[in-house]
Structure 1
Amino acid sequence: MTLQQASDHRRPVSHVGVLVPWANTVVETELPEWGRGLAVWHYARLAPAHGGTTLDGDFLSGLIEAVPEALHQLSRLSLDQVYLACTSAAFTHLDRLAEVTAGSQVRVVSAFEAILAQLQKRGARRIALVTPYPSEVTEVEVIQFAERGVLVTGSASLGLADGYAEVTLNQQAALVDQLGKEAVRQADAIVLSCTGWPTKAAITMLRRRLRRLVTSSNAAIALHALGSAREHHR
């Protein structure tokens, strides 16, 4: 199912919580564009205790530790589910994320889980991965995909620790070119991981150019929310 197909399905509006890293400006821009009025997004910001924005170990663990407080901010709302809109925090701290969300009265789904769910529905078991992350973080994601039965045919990263919202479409296209033709040919899908860089235009461009499934963290969250809403309201 594509985002367009999910959106065109008439169904009640879903109310969804989103936990957003405190310096992320992209999530709140892209999700409503894909939601097409069928999802109402309610946001709570994740502020790491150390007060930084650079993507490193302290920042990622700080986001996870901030999850309970962010969930509390949303606790008075009647929500279908909540999304952790930081892909890297999820796949680098899977066990801790499970611990801090264990008491939540509403299901918490990470961006990483949403990507996996979309790949599974589309039967995509091999992907080419592009990210803005430092290379060591991208390498962890490659391993986490492999542990869940998804082979990464090739990966490329910008090596950035901050400033993801400023990444351009040309930079993303060049990053895909770095993968190499063979890695792209072998892949069932191209994944643009990270909720902090804009991917809507890149997905449109790359789908036309590569003629295969292209998704991103924010696209996967939106599709997962719309699909879950249809199931919930049946």
Structure 2
Amino acid sequence: MPADPSATTRPDIRRVGVLLPWANQAVEEELPQLGEPGVVFHYARLVPATRTTAVDDSFWHGLRAAATDAVDSMRHLPLNATVLACTSAGFTGGPALPPGVITAFDALTILLHRHRRTRVVLATPYPQQVTRAEATALGERGIRVLAHASLGLDDGYPGISPQRILDLCAGLPPAALAEADALVLSCTGWRTLTAAAALQERLRIPVISSNRALATPTLPTAPGAAP
């Protein structure tokens, strides 16, 4: 007989279920470094039916379709929140997610609004059209994108070096950076810890990555989760 999850719940620990795109390497590296004491991350990998890794409709929709089984695989864990650790899957449509699951895009917008950072500059590794779609989606959530830059890649995000991120952000308009409340490094798949620290020191504005947003311990509690 399965163990009763409530019997193992500790009030000093907050547990977050992470639905992880199957080729993502960065999330498991960065979340433990970004999470606060008492936050534990539990992972389930999502495999799209097409078994692709390049970002396109079949990839995003495949991740969302795979989320139901992934959530079921963690149903005996006393989770406080469940997140889909893909930013672009949060603004590109597709199958409905299981109740209570939020995406990395949702987590970004929640964190930005919580800290009243509603004027941002945006940097992504995505193709140009995907970055433009994210800028539009952020605007629909009440977050004004003053400028954006992208690497134009549809795959290979784990191989992006910190210097390449710094070079990308160096091309953002100085006027937009001067007006911005934050720089957003969108995408959970590229490693941003080193670049984010350097950018924050250089620009003197907060730098918020998708993985930093996922690591916040105050994400909304999923319905039916442990209190």
CA deviations on 1:161-196 (whole Å, 9 max, x unpaired) are 111011111111111111121121121110000000
TM-score by length of 2: 0.89
Residue 227 of structure 1: aligned partner:
218
- Structure 1 stretches of 4+ with a deviation exceeding 3 A read none
Residue 98 of structure 2: aligned partner:
101
State the Cα distance separating 1:24 from its structure 2 match.
0.3
CA deviations on 1:16-36 (whole Å, 9 max, x unpaired) are 100000000110010011124
Secondary structure of residue in 2 paired with 1:76: coil
Secondary structure of residue in 2 paired with 1:203: helix
Residue 209 of structure 2: aligned partner:
216
User: In the alignment, is the contact (CA less than 8 A) between 1:199 and 1:216 conserved in 2?
Assistant: yes
State the Cα distance separating 1:233 from its structure 2 match.
9.2
Identify if the C-alpha distance between structure 1 residues 229 and 56 changes in structure 2 by more than 3 Å, giving closer, same or farther: closer
Task: Tell me, in whole angstroms, the C-alpha distance in 2 between the residues paired with 1:67 and 1:209.
Answer: 39
Amino acid of the structure 1 residue aligned with 2:200: R
Please give the residue correspondences for 1:119-134 in structure 2 after superposition, counting only pairs within 5 Å: 119-134=112-127
Moved more, 183-192 or 18-27: 183-192
User: In the alignment, is the contact (CA less than 8 A) between 2:120 and 2:183 conserved in 1?
Assistant: yes
Residue 72 of structure 1: aligned partner:
72
Secondary structure of residue in 1 paired with 2:91: helix
Secondary structure of residue in 2 paired with 1:44: strand
Determine which structure has the larger helix proportion and give its number.
1
Residue 42 of structure 2: aligned partner:
42
User: Are positions 1:166 and 2:163 aligned together?
Assistant: no
TM-score by length of 1: 0.86
Task: Tell me, in whole angstroms, the C-alpha distance in 2 between the residues paired with 1:41 and 1:215.
Answer: 19
Residue 133 of structure 2: aligned partner:
140
Secondary structure of residue in 1 paired with 2:121: strand
Number of aligned residues: 214
Secondary structure of residue in 2 paired with 1:92: coil
- RMSD over aligned Cα atoms: 1.9
State the Cα distance separating 1:100 from its structure 2 match.
2.9
Task: Tell me, in whole angstroms, the C-alpha distance in 1 between the residues paired with 2:20 and 2:43.
Answer: 7
CA deviations on 1:86-133 (whole Å, 9 max, x unpaired) are 00011112xx45x3323xxxx322111111111112111110000000
* Structure 2 residue runs without a partner (length 5+): 1-10
State the Cα distance separating 1:227 from its structure 2 match.
2.5
Match of 1:153 among 134, 146, 171: 146
Residue 53 of structure 2: aligned partner:
53
User: In the alignment, is the contact (CA less than 8 A) between 1:12 and 1:233 conserved in 2?
Assistant: no
Secondary structure of residue in 2 paired with 1:66: helix
State the Cα distance separating 1:56 from its structure 2 match.
1.3
Residue 7 of structure 2: aligned partner:
none
Task: Tell me, in whole angstroms, the C-alpha distance in 2 between the residues paired with 1:34 and 1:208.
Answer: 18
Q: How much identity, in percent, do the aligned residues show?
A: 42
* Structure 1 residue runs without a partner (length 5+): 1-10
